[in-house]
Amino acid sequence: MAVSVGADVEALCSKCGDVWHVVVAMVGTKIAKVQCKQCSGYHRYKSPHGAPPEAKLPSNKRPPKEPKGPKAPVERFEKPAVAADLSKPSRTYRASEKFDVGDRVDHPTFGQGIVELSEPGKVTVFFATGRRVLVQSKEGAAGGDKLSRPKPFDHSNPPAGGKSVADLQKP
């Protein structure tokens, strides 16, 4: 007997215990989902007669299982791009200091790391937990690390070969 979507079928309802349902979804020729006619609940199809036992292969015909032994550890992060400069001591990280490539850094949260890239104002450090971009001093950068007041602009002096603002405002 071929069953199709919309057909009445016997299935056990887990909500109300009724057995009369309507098929609402099928996968190939198997009933996947049904709707109870009593409580209108949707659920997977459960045969009221019990599921047929699945045929198992005899133990001598089954494929052998792979042994569960220790596997090689998976590296979460690759190696640092630069080698640590072992001639210098490890330094405690401070945002007010400047670091060079190859310096070893002790960070209070991330632990010990190696400086891979140093730019004015920021530094990329390789830690065991991954790469982090941290703040560093802008010392030695163009313009210095201190803010300075810009030069005052004189509106009365005309630019070379041009008119002044006062000349442009005259009628």
* Domain residue ranges of the chain, discontinuous segments joined by +: 8-44, 79-144
Which pLDDT score, from 0 to 100, does residue 135 have? Answer: 94
Of residues 55, 27, 22, the one with CA closest to residue 41: 22
Q: What is the pLDDT of residues 28-54, one digit of tens each?
A: 888 888 888 888 888 888 777 765 545
DSSP three-state, residue 30: strand
Structure tokens at 20: 């009369």
> What's 26's DSSP letter?
E
Residue 10 has pLDDT above 90, yes or no: no
- The chain-wide mean pLDDT, for the chain, equals 78
> What's 66's DSSP letter?
P
Structure tokens at 127: 């830690």
Of residues 37, 32, 41, the one with CA closest to residue 14: 41
User: Among 90-94, 124-128, 150-154, which is the least confidently predicted range?
Assistant: 150-154
Which pLDDT score, from 0 to 100, does residue 158 have? Answer: 61
Q: Is the pTM of this model over 0.85?
A: no
For residue 76, what pLDDT band results from cuts at 50, 70 and 90? low
The whole-number average pLDDT for the span 109-126 is 92
